Amino acid sequence: MNLKQKARVYSPWVFHAHAGGCNNCDIEIAAVFSPRFDVERMGVKLKNNPRHADILLVTGPVPKQVEPALKRIYNQTPNPKVVVAIGGCAIDCGPYNYDDAPENYALAGPVNKIIPVDVYVPGCPPRPEAIIHGLALALECLALKK
């Protein structure tokens, strides 16, 4: 690992992309950055700009209106980048799409249909501890990427 990579892994910056959904996972992400769960002890910092970010946290089932925005956010993030899909909606559309029901007209599918996903964090919503574990896995992915 060279110096640049080391610096990136020891202090990754995170962008939170909300793509539809019920806002529950977003509240848990907010809890992760609060003093109680304090993910900043791992050096992770929340940023408001995808151009500064190393890790994208995506929540929600991605409605058709949000799809171009999500693609743009992904393209704006500099390489190397890691995408973490958080919650049941981001992994498989959750309650917005059932196998036996007609296909939802408003959805552009789960996140991995639109952008490549590296880490999946299941739960509805996932516990803050589970999100910390997902971020730890994302850091391992980031260390392997050049």
Partner 1 sequence: MVNGMAMLIKELLKNIKQCITIDYPAGTWPGKKYSQIVPYGRGMHEFDEEKCIGCGACASMCSSKTIKLIDEEGKRTVSIYLGRCIFCGKCQDICPEEALKLTPKYELANINEEKLYVKNSLNMVKCESCEKFIFTEKQINTVKNKVLENLKPETKEKMKLDIEKYLKLCPDCRKILSFKLETHPRKLY
Question: Is residue 124 near partner 1 by the rule CB under 8 A?
Answer: yes
Give the nearest distance from C-beta 25 to partner 1 in angstroms: 12
According to CB under 8 A, which residues from 34 to 93 bind partner 1? 35-38, 41, 88, 91-92
Q: Pull the structure tokens for residue 136.
A: 């730890």
Q: Which amino acid, residue 127? A: R
Q: How far is the CB of 22 from partner 1 (least distance, A)?
A: 12
Alpha helices in the chain, H assignment, sequence order: 3-10, 24-32, 67-76, 88-92, 111-114, 128-144
Contacts of 106 (CB under 8 A, 6+ apart): 63, 64
Number of residues that bind partner 1 (CB under 8 A): 30
Output 72 or 140, the one with its CB closest to partner 1.
140
Instruction: Report the nearest approach of partner 1 to the CB of residue 122 (Å).
Output: 4
Which residues lie below 8 Å from residue 25, measured CB to CB, with a gap of 6+? Answer: 59, 60, 86, 87, 89, 90, 125, 126
Among candidate residues 120, 122, 97, 119, the one with its CA nearest the CA of residue 108: 97
| Closer CB to partner 1, 76 or 97, in the complex | 97
Q: Which residues bind partner 1 (CB under 8 A)?
A: 35-38, 41, 88, 91-92, 94-95, 98-100, 112, 118-124, 126-127, 129-130, 132-134, 137, 141
